[in-house]
Amino acid sequence: MAELSFKVIVIGPAAVGKSSLIRRFVDDKFTLAYKFTIGVDFSTKIIEYRSEKKARVTIWDIGGQDRFKILRRNFYEGTHGALVVFDLSRAQTFSKMKEWISDMNQLLEEKVPLVILGNKIDLIPEIGEVIDKEEPKLFADKIDSTYIETSAKSGDNVQEAFVELTKKIVKNTFNE
């Protein structure tokens, strides 16, 4: 059978770690230097979502500053699924992240599978919990999504997050 091929997008407020999660996943690298994403970036990776089952996934990264721009339409068009990211060390990014989901649902004709990521879990031992863990879990359940806590810095759960989204897409869109 031909290899599956699809598009995923990574969305959420500025500086939550979208580009870092992609970099960790694609190149297994991380840097603390903040490099603003300008416009849109792409990368491709083959994901083995089950043993011997592979999908070619193109990952689109958006600059946070583009939330209100026309560019968004091309960005969202044809996407098969989304990773929606907030920052566990900044509470306001959780509510902002919900706005990103509403925006996306307005632009897309059909709903696509989502995985919600609470990123920067590595900071929590230092600063203490900022967001009650139950909240993102309940929210994810409500919208039929999955909630995963990640760290682009340590790599915790990053692979798992992309695999989980891939599995959802394969199930929902390709009926496999």
The one-letter code for the residue type at 139 is F
40 binds ligand GDP (CB under 6 A): no
Q: Which is nearer to Mg ion, 4 or 93 (CB)?
A: 93
Using CB atoms within 10 Å of the CB of residue 109, give its burial: 0 to 12 exposed, 13 to 18 middle, 19+ buried: exposed
Q: Which is nearer to Mg ion, 41 or 176 (CB)?
A: 41
- Cβ atoms within 10 Å of 102's Cβ, excluding its own: 9
What torsion, rounded to 10 degrees, do the Cα atoms 80, 150, 13, 103 define? 30
Q: How far is the CB of 146 from ligand GDP (least distance, A)?
A: 18
79 binds, among Mg ion, ligand GDP, none (CB under 5 to 8 A by kind): none
- With vertex at residue 163, the alpha carbon angle to CA 8 and CA 122, rounded to the nearest 5 degrees, is 95
Binding mask 117-156 for ligand GDP (x = CB under 6 A): --xx-xx---------------------------xxx---
19 binds Mg ion (CB under 5 A): yes
Within 50-109, which residues bind ligand GDP (CB under 6 A)?
A: 64
Q: Which of 6, 93, 73, 87 is nearest to 44 (CA)?
A: 6
Q: Which is nearer to ligand GDP, 4 or 22 (CB)?
A: 22
Q: How far is the CB of 173 from Mg ion (least distance, A)?
A: 26
Cα(20)–Cα(155) distance, integer angstroms: 10
Cα(82)–Cα(97) distance, integer angstroms: 12
Among 11, 17, 96, 161, contact with ligand GDP (rule: CB under 6 A) = 17
Positions touching Mg ion (CB under 5 A) are 18-19, 37
Positions touching ligand GDP (CB under 6 A) are 14-20, 31-32, 34-35, 37, 64, 119-120, 122-123, 151-153
